[in-house]
Structure 1
Amino acid sequence: MKTSNTQMKKICLLTIMTLMCFSLSGFSQKKVITKKSVNKTVVEVLYFHGKQRCPTCIAIGDNSIDVVNKDFAKQVKAGQVKFKEIDISTPKGEEIADKYSVSWSSLYLTQWKNGKEKRYDMTRFGFENARSNTQAFRTGLKNKIIQFLK
């Protein structure tokens, strides 16, 4: 059975269209995966500081990263808990600080759940405890992270 040039073009076009349909169906599956990951709760510990830091500011940063890395190592690995150090004296840091209305050293916890952000300002608590009452600071930060993970 001989096929004409026109029939051959139709077969090629039909094959290409079929392949495109299969490849496009893969895109919709990727969107479903992305939507599922949006529903995951993520807690960020945001430590804002300037170029110059006092001993208390340093204690807030050091204790915060220590709590995150030691007490939440499993959640850090899973991407559920993140520590972000933000130098507000840099252009990128200044941009993030503006979003949080931060103008000096600060400590924030953010909870991302179902695509929505919930913020908790721990700055005052940090300055009151990070250097002078380290255990209370570490316990308070840990408890708030646990609360935000729920």
Structure 2
Amino acid sequence: MKPILLTLSFLLYLTASLAQTTPDTYVEVLYFHGKQRCVTCKAIESCTREVIDEQFNAQVKEGKVRFRAIDISTPDGEKLADRYRVSRSSLFINGWNNGKESRNDLTLFAFRNARSHTELFKQEVKETIVQLLK
């Protein structure tokens, strides 16, 4: 009887752990880039990472916020870039809710502000993530 209870307890623990690491509702930040990147492209990635690291560390650990840098010159990166219809550096902050994606293309805003208006850029990234987490 004890082995069965131990096994059931372990399975319940495992199920609860998996449920916590893969929430149905999360925010996915996608930064697409190629092999060659300009100063602005690098600023977009670094500023976005700073916001996520400084403002959403707990949500990252919970799996509620995810960041991916995708090199579109690789085969896997190219496939994802095709799905998002991007051919150059791009920034998307997307909300996922029960398998449905809500895309937010911040590429133009990012190129206009990541270097010259860094705090404005960071604030917009933060606010977009906060709104999508609601």
Residue 130 (structure 2) pairs with residue 143 (structure 1): no
> Unaligned regions of 5+ residues in structure 1, if any?
1-22
Residue 33 (structure 2) pairs with residue 49 (structure 1): yes
TM-aligned CA deviation for residue 38 of structure 1:
7.2
Q: Which 4+ stretches in 1 moved above 4 angstroms?
A: 33-39
Change (3 A) 1:40 1:129: same
Match of 1:92 in 2: 76
Q: Tell me which structure has the larger Cα radius of gyration.
A: 1
TM-aligned CA deviation for residue 108 of structure 1:
0.2
For 1:71-124, what per-residue CA distance to the aligned partner results, in whole angstroms no more than 9, with x for missing partners? Answer: 100100100001100000111100110110011000001111022111000000
| 8 Å CA contact retained: 2:23, 2:64 | no
TM-score normalised by structure 2 residue count: 0.84
Match of 1:75 in 2: 59
TM-aligned CA deviation for residue 69 of structure 1:
1.1
Residue type at the aligned position of 2:92: Y
Change (3 A) 1:126 1:38: same
Identity, in percent, stands at 51
For 1:24-69, what per-residue CA distance to the aligned partner results, in whole angstroms no more than 9, with x for missing partners? Answer: xx8xxx6xx9889876311011000000000000000000011111
TM-score normalised by structure 1 residue count: 0.75
> Unaligned regions of 5+ residues in structure 2, if any?
1-7
Residue 85 (structure 2) pairs with residue 110 (structure 1): no
